[in-house]
């Protein structure tokens, strides 16, 4: 079942920007904000990213420092 969220004390300039962006996208403010929230919560948190990196490092996986440096140099040379 869907739930309702309410945000209080939204500054006028933020409210106006959200309304304008929703209108530009051709959707309601509610749909616009729901899309933003859905996108935000689909991303891993910083804690999750750190934990994944630590797990990978403990397992001996991932790229070496030299591999990373080579990839950066290759990207710059393009």
Contact 21, 11 (CB under 8 A): no
Contact 47, 55 (CB under 8 A): no
Give me 58's structure tokens.
């403990």
pLDDT tens digits, residue range 37-64? 999 999 999 999 999 888 888 887 777 8
Q: Per-residue pLDDT for 77 more than 90?
A: no
Complete DSSP assignment for 4-60: -----S--HHHHHHHHHHHHHHTS-HHHHHHHHHHHHHHSPPHHHHHHHHHHHHHTT
Q: Per-residue pLDDT for 17 more than 90?
A: yes
């Amino acid at each position: 079942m869907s739930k309702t969220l309410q945000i209080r004390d939204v500054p006028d300039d933020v409210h106006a920007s959200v309304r304008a962006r929703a209108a530009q996208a051709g959707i309601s403010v509610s749909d616009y904000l729901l899309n933003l929230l859905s996108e935000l919560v689909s991303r891993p948190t910083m804690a999750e990213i750190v934990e994944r990196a630590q797990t990978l490092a403990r397992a001996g996986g991932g790229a070496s420092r030299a591999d990373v440096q080579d990839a950066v140099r290759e990207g710059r040379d393009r």
